[in-house]
Amino acid sequence: MKRGIWTNDVGVINEYVEDLMASDPDMDESLAWAEAESSVADDLDSAKVDLRVPVGDLIVIADLGLWNGRVSGYKVIPNATLADAISVCEGDIIDWYVEDGEMKIDDIHHDGVNHYVFRAWKDGVTDWRKGLTEHLVRHGITDKATLDVETRPLGADVAKVYGWEED
């Protein structure tokens, strides 16, 4: 099951606009759009506050859609919180969510879509094991079972913040 954290998808903004105009039929549509966009920005600010949950190093595993094709990527954000996940996004439309226990972001931009999965190191993982895992991820030699050995998904951490039942 997919549970949304935040999005600035036009469909969501359009729902805000429709609700605003339904509650005030005399409202100018451009004003409704401005208020809706402001509300969506406020929702992001709230999510960033809600998700200031420390996770240690935030591991970003990326499937990047570039002008010349798809590329795998990997990044570590040291001493991070769940909220730091949004810092990797530079696209026009962002969908931040939890699905199958994983915290993910889809980031749509002019060249395509970047897909990110976020994880954290399990307690007690040695620097050598971290290096090995990073090497495997960088070279596309990992799957969920391999990642589960040294890292943990972050969906449960988000679920605790929002009071969601875990799937």
Predicted confidence band of residue 137 (pLDDT cuts 50, 70, 90): confident
Q: What is the DSSP string of 94-133?
A: EEEEEETTEEEEEEEETTEEEEEEEEEEPTT--HHHHHHH
d(CA 7, CA 9): 5
Inter-residue contact 27 to 21 (CB < 8 Å):
yes
d(CA 96, CA 99): 10
pLDDT for the residue numbered 156? 96
| Ranges of H-type helices in the chain | 10-23, 29-50, 127-138, 144-150, 155-162
Task: Write the pLDDT tens digit of every residue in 21-53.
Answer: 999 889 898 999 999 999 999 999 999 999 999
Residue-level length of the chain: 167
Does position 99 have pLDDT exceeding 60, yes or no?
Answer: yes
Q: What tokens does 149 get?
A: 């050995």
